């Protein structure tokens, strides 16, 4: 039986996605640590299947300004991945990378935008590599697009772009610990249904 909507994902599926999240977050912590030149630890990620409205609540409400970095997936898996980070954390990331910086909505300098695009590339790459390693599938991504705006306005984009019949997204919530600060990062995995089935099959999961 094929998975026809994200509603049908059961505990076994969620466990697999958790494992993907685990390995991805591990990769990401290593990459972040290299990038920032300081120690970064990860806490075991939580994986949840959420409605868009629940997801924006998890990010602090629909109007909370966040930084979102989005790529389209190509290769064996179709769909999108979106990495969402708090504006404050982005600020400190950019300060570390570029010296002084101010992250304001709809108003990133070219330098800030390309630095964020690179961070997104690294983080999304870390999770995509985890999916690829576990499943043996080939996953390619487009150049990332970076936007700072209201969480709600950004979260609806993948579902709308994919003409999705459901408002569900796979939400991997990670906490990273760096220099006694906790940083919340959220990876959103939005595969098309065909790809989700292919992914579960490649992982040896009975559908």
Partner 1 sequence: MSELVTVGISDLKIAGAPGGLVTYALGSCIGICLYDSVLKVGGLAHIMLPYRPRNGTEEQAFRYADSCLPLMVRNMEKLGCARSRLQAKIAGGAKMFDIADDTAFGNIGARNIAAVKETLSALQIRILAEDTGLNYGRTVYFYTETGMMVVKSFAKGVHSF
Q: Under the rule (CB under 8 A), what is the footprint of partner 1?
A: 52-53, 56, 61-63, 65, 68, 70-72, 105-107, 142-145, 147-157, 159-161, 163, 165, 167
Which residue lies nearer to partner 1 by CB, 101 or 156?
156
Q: CB 134 → partner 1: shortest distance, Å?
A: 26
Question: Is 56 in contact with 81 (CB distance < 8 Å)?
Answer: no
d(CA 134, CA 91): 33
Which residue lies nearer to partner 1 by CB, 39 or 63?
63
Q: Rounded to the nearest 5°, which phi and psi values hold at 82?
A: -135, 130
Q: CB 20 → partner 1: shortest distance, Å?
A: 23
Which residue lies nearer to partner 1 by CB, 27 or 121?
121
Paired with 171 in beta bridges are 48, 188
Distances from the Cα of 138 to the Cαs of 10, 98, 131, 172, in angstroms?
25, 33, 9, 21
179 burial (CB, 10 Å; 0-12 / 13-18 / 19+) is exposed
Which residue lies nearer to partner 1 by CB, 34 or 140?
140
Q: CB 56 → partner 1: shortest distance, Å?
A: 7
Which residue lies nearer to partner 1 by CB, 20 or 159?
159
Q: CB 202 → partner 1: shortest distance, Å?
A: 25
Secondary structure (DSSP) of 48-96? EEEEHHHHHHHTT-TT-EEEEEEEEEEET--EEEEEEEEHHHHHHHHHH
Q: CB 38 → partner 1: shortest distance, Å?
A: 30
Question: Is 154 in contact with 59 (CB distance < 8 Å)?
Answer: no
Q: CB 2 → partner 1: shortest distance, Å?
A: 16
Q: Which sign does the torsion angle of CA 20, 25, 31, 35 carry?
A: positive
Which residue lies nearer to partner 1 by CB, 92 or 166?
166
């Amino acid at each position: 039986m094929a998975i026809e909507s994200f509603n049908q994902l059961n505990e076994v599926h969620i466990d697999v996605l958790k494992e993907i999240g685990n390995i991805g977050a591990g990769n990401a912590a290593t990459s972040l640590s290299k990038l920032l030149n300081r120690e970064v630890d990860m806490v075991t990620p939580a994986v949840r299947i959420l409605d868009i409205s629940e997801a924006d609540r998890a990010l602090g409400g629909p109007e909370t300004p966040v930084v979102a970095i989005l790529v389209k997936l190509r290769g064996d898996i179709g769909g999108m991945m979106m990495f969402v980070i708090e504006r404050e954390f982005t600020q400190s990331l950019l300060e570390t990378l570029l010296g002084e910086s101010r992250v304001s909505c709809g108003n990133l300098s070219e330098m800030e935008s390309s630095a964020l695009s690179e961070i997104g590339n690294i983080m999304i790459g870390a999770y995509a590599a985890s999916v690829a390693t576990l499943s043996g599938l080939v996953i390619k991504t487009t150049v990332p697009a970076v936007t700072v705006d209201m969480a709600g306005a950004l979260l609806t984009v993948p579902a709308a772009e994919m003409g999705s019949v459901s408002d569900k997204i796979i939400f991997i919530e990670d906490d990273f610990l760096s220099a006694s600060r906790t940083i919340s990062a959220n990876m959103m995995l939005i595969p098309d249904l065909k790809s989700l089935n292919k992914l579960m099959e490649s992982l040896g999961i009975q559908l």
